[in-house]
Amino acid sequence: MRDETTTPTLRRCIGSARFGIEPHEAPVEEFPRQPSQRDGLARMCRVHRNEYTAGLARDAKARKAAASADVGTTGVAAEEVPPAAEQPAAAPEPDQKRTRRASAPEHAAIGEVAAE
């Protein structure tokens, strides 16, 4: 009888420097399915993916709160009014305007030639 010890297949969790998640090796079973990836598995283990997405949500909430605080103090969102240096210049007037088309000749009946 053969002694079969199976070692779990490990996969690298990429981590996130932004949220302080260190890359590490984890068993394949800890990675959620992600059909869009070539091998069908996510790049982060389930635990770290949850931490990462929670961090993204916290950052988005903080940005939204900061933007609403700017609106509350000035009455207008900071992103809505660009500084004078960033405002686009007015488009130059075209040099030549199109002329009106000549009136079309009376349509001849089918099979007749229009008289000129």
How do residues 49-83 score in pLDDT, each as one tens digit?
999 999 999 999 999 999 888 776 655 555 555 55
Cα 106 from Cα 114, distance rounded (Å): 8
- Please state, in angstroms and rounded to a whole number, the distance separating the CA atoms of residues 65 and 57: 12
**Given this model, what pLDDT does residue 73 score?**
61
- The tokens for 101 are 């088309």
Higher-confidence residue: 41 or 100?
41
pLDDT given for residue 109 in this prediction: 58
Q: Which residue has the higher pLDDT, 105 or 83?
A: 105
Determine the 3-state secondary structure of 85 from DSSP: coil
State how far the Cα of 45 lies from the Cα of 78, in Å rounded to an integer: 38
pLDDT, tens digit, for every residue of 2-55?
556 677 799 999 999 999 999 999 999 999 999 999 999 999 999 999 999 999
Please report the beta strands in the chain, taking only residues with DSSP state E, as ranges in sequence order.
Answer: 10-13, 24-27
pLDDT the model gives residue 27: 95
Confidence (pLDDT) at 87: 56
Q: Is 13 helix (H, G, I), strand (E, B) or coil?
A: strand
**Do 65 and 72 form a contact (C-beta atoms < 8 A)?**
no
Domain ranges of the chain: 10-74
Give SS3 for 43.
coil
